[in-house]
């Protein structure tokens, strides 16, 4: 008898795409998906361990779902915890969550069908070389698609749990990446994002990241190519020049700087100085004056003084990122930062975060306002939240809302920006705009 599964995802794009891979693995073995957890035979939670809050949320959800089955007539569903929290805690999770059945780490998803059918309480959390080549992901979004190009990370930034839960860096074979990109483009996907924890250090034999990017641009035809996440220490000149020269590589870059203080960057083990970071930004803007830039920042890292924090404020003010993802430092057990001296009190981390949020909101509004009246190419992604509106993205990842239009998802349209509300914009199609 065919089993139904329900899947819930937490965390980054890597997890979102891993959930598409999990669906591909399960559906190729006869499982079918359901949107209703209450009617599923198997409930899978793909967890994120990057911040403590994310971990607490997923464990709370697992325990709530576990409790709900007692009200069901159809018996208990199998509850499976996947992703980074599964990898981090392994078997010990069974003692904490009595309704949990399986714990499966990011490298072991190929085992899911067998583990589910076996229905023993067990964990699979080995590190393997698998990059899931050959698995056909069940894509849940159109016309935007993710393609994993590498897994794991070798950097060991002192606050980050990723190298411990995703293992060492390994790059996927470039031919299989390029054929996946070409197939997505033929199927009408307008935006393809190359994914990896540190894409710039991608390496498959002689194929470096910049080489892969050039080939990806050609394999993608008219589709846009984006990539995430870049590391400032590994972003090479060659990558910047490929971005500038290939028309369908989006002039958009997410480049986390984390702190504006060299002392803090050293304690974070980031491997670059503030000046080196600023040199990268200058290079990018020289090559692509309209490039859209976003970043990540952590406030209240252990030992961050008021003067260090002020340097972060200065950097945010001087670069004027179009968007920024701001976080207060969260301890992750097992990382090097946990043993650093001089922790910043929680209230101070939060107050510094609030300060940056206010500053960035102002910058985002000012930078978005500069687009008023300009014409931009957008990719229609589907209906917006409000009836009668359509949502779309620019190559710089800004959301643009259109009123009363009826374009097919996947169409490229030229629009004039009529209003900006932070990262969300409103626009109207330019007459006779070429729709590709």
| Residue number with CB closer to ligand SF4 (185 or 200) | 200
Nearer to ligand SF4, 66 or 232 (CB): 232
Q: Is 163 a residue that touches ligand SF4 (CB under 6 A)?
A: yes
List, as one string, the DSSP characters of 41-110: SEEEEEE--SSHHHHHHHHHHHHHHHHHGGG-SS-PPEEEEEHHHHHHHGGGHHHH-TT--EEE-TT-GG
156 is a site residue for ligand SF4 (CB under 6 A): yes
Do the Cβ atoms of 412 and 221 come closer than 8 Å? no
Rounded to a whole number of angstroms, the minimum distance from the CB of residue 197 to ligand SF4 is 4
Cα 209 to Cα 35, 175, 388, distances in angstroms: 37, 13, 41
> Residue 198 or residue 261: which is nearer to ligand SF4 going by CB?
198
Region of 33-41, 136-144, 153-161, 239-247 interacting with ligand SF4 (CB under 6 A): 153-161
**Alpha-carbon distances, residue 361 vs 326, 354, 364, 418 (angstroms):** 11, 10, 5, 20
Residue 157 is a binding residue for ligand SF4 (CB under 6 A): yes
Task: Write the CA distances from 398 to 19, 215, 316, 428, integer angstroms.
Answer: 25, 26, 19, 15
- Residue 398 near ligand SF4 by CB under 6 A: no
Q: By CB under 6 A, which span of 109-117, 151-159, 316-324, 402-410 interacts with ligand SF4? A: 151-159
User: Does 42 interact with ligand SF4 (rule: CB under 6 A)?
Assistant: no
From the CB of 161, what's the least distance to ligand SF4, in Å? 8
391 with 381: CB under 8 angstroms? yes
The least distance separating ligand SF4 from the CB of residue 170, rounded to whole angstroms, comes to: 13
* Strand, helix or coil for residue 282: helix
Interface with ligand SF4, residue 158, by CB under 6 A = no
Contact between 198 and 225 under an 8 Å Cβ cutoff? The reply is no
Among 108, 162, 292, 402, binds ligand SF4 (CB under 6 A): 162
Q: What is the Cα gyration radius of the chain? A: 22
SS3 419: strand
Which residue stretch of 22-30, 105-113, 160-168, 281-289 sits at the interface with ligand SF4 (rule: CB under 6 A)? 160-168
φ and ψ at residue 413, rounded to 5 degrees: -135, 145
Residues 6+ apart with CB under 8 A from 432: none
- Residue pair 109/125 in contact by the 8 Å Cβ criterion: no
Sequence-ordered strand ranges (E) for 329-388: 375-383
> Strand order in 323-328's β-sheet?
252-254, 292-299, 323-328
Q: Is 325 in the site for ligand SF4 (CB under 6 A)?
A: no
> Contact region for ligand SF4 (CB under 6 A) — 157-165, 318-326, 329-337, 369-377?
157-165
**Rounded distance, CA 330 to CA 344, Å?**
11
User: Smallest distance from the beta carbon of 157 to ligand SF4, in angstroms?
Assistant: 3
Structure tokens at 2: 């065919």
Based on CB atoms, which residue is closest to ligand SF4, 163 or 382? Answer: 163
Stretch that binds ligand SF4, among 57-65, 69-77, 90-98, 150-158 (CB under 6 A): 150-158
Answer for which of 26, 44, 80, 153 binds ligand SF4 (CB under 6 A) is: 153
**Site mask, ligand SF4, residues 177-206, x = CB under 6 A?**
--------------------xx--------
Nearest distance in Å: CB 273, ligand SF4: 16
Stretch that binds ligand SF4, among 11-19, 54-62, 159-167, 330-338 (CB under 6 A): 159-167
Triad 317, 194, 407: Cα angle to 5°: 85
Q: How many residues bind ligand SF4 (CB under 6 A)?
A: 10
Q: How many helices (H) and strands (E) does the chain have?
A: 13, 21
Query: Which window, 155-163, 334-342, 385-393, 420-428, contacts ligand SF4 (CB under 6 A)?
Result: 155-163
Instruction: State in angstroms the smallest separation of the CB of 142 from ligand SF4.
Output: 28
- What is the β-pairing status of strands 389-394 and 399-403? antiparallel
If the CB atoms of residues 143 and 152 are measured against ligand SF4, the closer one turns out to be 152
Q: Give me the least distance between CB of 186 and ligand SF4, in Å please.
A: 32
221-250 residues near ligand SF4, rule: CB under 6 A: 231
Q: Does the bond joining 151 to the residue before it have cis omega, within 30 degrees of 0?
A: no
Binding site for ligand SF4 (CB under 6 A): 153, 155-157, 160, 162-163, 197-198, 231
């Amino acid at each position: 008898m065919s089993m139904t599964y329900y899947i819930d995802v937490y965390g980054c794009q890597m997890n979102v795409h891993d959930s598409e891979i999990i669906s591909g693995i399960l559906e190729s073995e006869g499982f079918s998906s359901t949107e209703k957890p209450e009617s599923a035979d198997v409930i899978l939670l793909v967890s994120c361990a990057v911040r403590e809050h994310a971990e607490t949320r997923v464990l709370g959800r697992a325990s709530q779902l576990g409790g709900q089955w007692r009200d069901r007539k159809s018996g208990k569903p199998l509850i499976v915890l996947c992703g980074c929290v599964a990898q981090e805690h392994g078997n010990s999770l069974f003692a904490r969550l009595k309704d949990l059945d399986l714990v499966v780490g990011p490298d072991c998803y190929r085992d899911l069908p067998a583990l589910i059918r076996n229905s023993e309480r067990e964990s699979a959390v080995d590190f393997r070389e698998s990059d899931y080549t050959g698995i056909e992901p069940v894509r849940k979004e159109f016309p935007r698609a993710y393609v994993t190009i590498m897994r794991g990370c070798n950097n060991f930034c002192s606050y980050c749990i990723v190298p411990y839960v995703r293992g060492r860096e390994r790059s996927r074979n470039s031919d299989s990446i390029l054929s996946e990109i070409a197939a997505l483009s033929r199927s009408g996907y307008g935006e393809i994002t190359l994914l990896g924890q540190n894409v710039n250090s991608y390496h498959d034999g002689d194929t470096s990241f910049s080489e892969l990017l050039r080939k990806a641009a050609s394999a993608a035809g008219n589709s846009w190519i984006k990539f995430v996440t870049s590391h400032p220490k590994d972003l090479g000149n060659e990558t910047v020049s490929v971005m500038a020269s290939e028309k369908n590589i989006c002039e958009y870059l997410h480049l986390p700087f984390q702190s504006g203080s060299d002392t803090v960057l050293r304690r974070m083990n980031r491997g670059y100085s503030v000046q080196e970071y600023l040199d990268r930004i200058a290079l990018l803007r020289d090559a692509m004056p309209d490039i859209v830039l976003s970043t990540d920042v952590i406030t209240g890292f252990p030992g961050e003084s008021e003067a260090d924090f002020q340097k972060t404020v200065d950097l945010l003010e001087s670069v004027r990122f179009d968007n920024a993802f701001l976080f207060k430092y969260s301890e992750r057990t097992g990382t090097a930062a946990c043993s650093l001296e001089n922790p910043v009190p929680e209230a101070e981390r939060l107050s510094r975060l609030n300060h940056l949020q206010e500053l960035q909101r102002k910058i985002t509004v000012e930078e978005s306002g500069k687009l008023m009246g300009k014409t931009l190419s957008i990719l229609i992604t589907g209906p917006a939240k409000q009836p009668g509106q359509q949502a779309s993205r620019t190559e710089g990842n800004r959301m643009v809302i259109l009123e009363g239009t009826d374009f097919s998802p996947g169409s490229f349209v030229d629009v004039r920006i009529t209003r900006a509300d932070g990262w969300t914009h409103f626009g109207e199609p330019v007459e006779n705009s070429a729709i590709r």
